[in-house]
Structure 1
């Protein structure tokens, strides 16, 4: 579904990604873990067209999307839920969801997508007329994911979905990610500092350090890797 080949990204003279390659099979959850400054967010920004790669290729569903603008990438079914949620704080929950459907033209499909969002996140139905900026951190993350789902994506990229959320809601958010993947076979590339949780729900993982992929493999194997456990799992 997603294939990245030899991706290089720089911010001026500073190199952020140094030839990373990764792939996500259709219907899989793959996680990208690493410390602060490793290049995780830069990876997602480059895949969604927000940052231009200096070198390398990005293929999605068999098409080279490396040079496409972000809205064309979304139109092809690849949607990005950014770090920090980036909801429209002064708009209502309903208006945020409508913004997520801006490329959709069928009222029936928009209604179906909204109903699906409410089935995944019932709390959003209760907050429909509430300004998004007044929601809790967990509710804002639910809204950010639901807004992406309104585009009816084939593939989701989630950047730090547990960031700034009360601990009691983190497991709920991860359960919902698994549910979204299971319901429609939506592929997911998950960037997450909570490596333990990310490895529990994913099938495959890549470890990124200073712009390089330094380790990869099935998540169940990496959970038991002594080096990874010492660096990221607290044991």
Structure 2
């Protein structure tokens, strides 16, 4: 569903991605793991049009979308939940979710997806009229994912969903990422510092190191790889 070929990105004169290539099959969960500064977030930003691609191509659903404007990419069903959640702090939970559906005109579908968001994350329903800025970090992460679901995506990119969240909520969020993938057939590309958790829920993984792909394999095999164990899994 998504293919990146020889992708190169630079910020000014500093190259952050040195020609990486990867594939995300439809209806799968693929994860990118690696240390801070490896280029994981930059990869997602390049795919979603937020970072300028200097070389290589991004192909989504058979179309070349390299350097297309972000709003056009979202309208094609590819949605990005950025690191740091970026909820609209002064708007309520409900208003944030409505913002997620701003490109849509199907009122019945929007209402159904609102119900689905509350089914996935019941805490959001309890806080429907609360300002998003007053939610805990974990609740804001739930809101950011639910807001993305409101755009009716077919492909979802999640950047560091466990960052700064209480462990009990991290488990709940990851369980729901798996459920969304299974129930909706949503293709997911996940960037995550918690390599153990990311490899536990994904089908395939890539290890990024200083803007290059160091290793790639089925997630279970990566979990058993001595190099990955030592560098990322704390074994």
Common fold: TM-score over 0.5: yes
Partner of 1:131: 131
Superposition deviation, residue 168 in structure 1: 1.1
Return 5+ residue gaps in structure 2 as ranges.
none
Paired position in structure 2 for 1:89: 89
Aligned counterparts of 2:12 and 2:184: Cα–Cα separation in 1: 40
**Cα shift readout 1:65-100 (whole Å, capped 9, x = no counterpart):** 113100000000000000010000111001100110
1:190 aligns with 2:190: yes
Query: 2: CA distance between counterparts of 1:140 and 1:169?
Result: 11
* TM-superposition CA deviations, 1:145-185 (whole Å, max 9, x none): 00000000001000000001001111101000000000111
Match in the other structure for 1:211: 211
Q: TM-score, normalised by structure 2?
A: 0.99
Residues 29 and 202 in structure 2, CA contact (< 8 A), matched pair in contact too: yes
5 Å-filtered alignment, 1:133-212, equals: 133-212=133-212
Which residue of 1 is the match for residue 116 of structure 2?
A: 116
Corresponding residue for residue 73 of structure 2:
73
| Root mean square deviation of aligned Cα | 0.5
Secondary structure class of the residue paired with 1:54: strand
Aligned counterparts of 1:174 and 1:106: Cα–Cα separation in 2: 29
Per the alignment, in what secondary structure is the counterpart of residue 223 of structure 1?
helix
SS at match of 2:176: helix
Alignment match, 1:223: 223
Q: How far apart are residue 52 of structure 1 and its match?
A: 1.2
2:3 is equivalent to residue 16 of structure 1: no
Q: Please list the CA deviations of residues 3-22 of structure 1 after superposition, one character each: whole Å capped at 9, or x if unmatched.
A: 00000000011000000000
Whole-angstrom CA distance in 2 between matches of 1:18 and 1:112: 43
CA distance in 1, matches of 2:167, 2:184: 27
CA distance in 2, matches of 1:227, 1:125: 43
Gaps spanning 5+ residues in structure 1: where?
A: none
Structure 1 residue matching 2:231: 3-state secondary structure: helix
Alpha-carbon distance in structure 2 between the residues aligned to 1:118 and 1:169: 16
Paired residues for 1:28-47 under 5 Å: 28-47=28-47
Find the aligned partners of 1:180 and 1:87 in 2 and give their Cα distance: 20
Number of equivalenced pairs = 235
- Ranges of 4+ aligned residues in structure 1 off by more than 6 Å: none
Q: TM-score, with normalisation over the residues of structure 1?
A: 0.99
Give 1:193 shift.
0.5
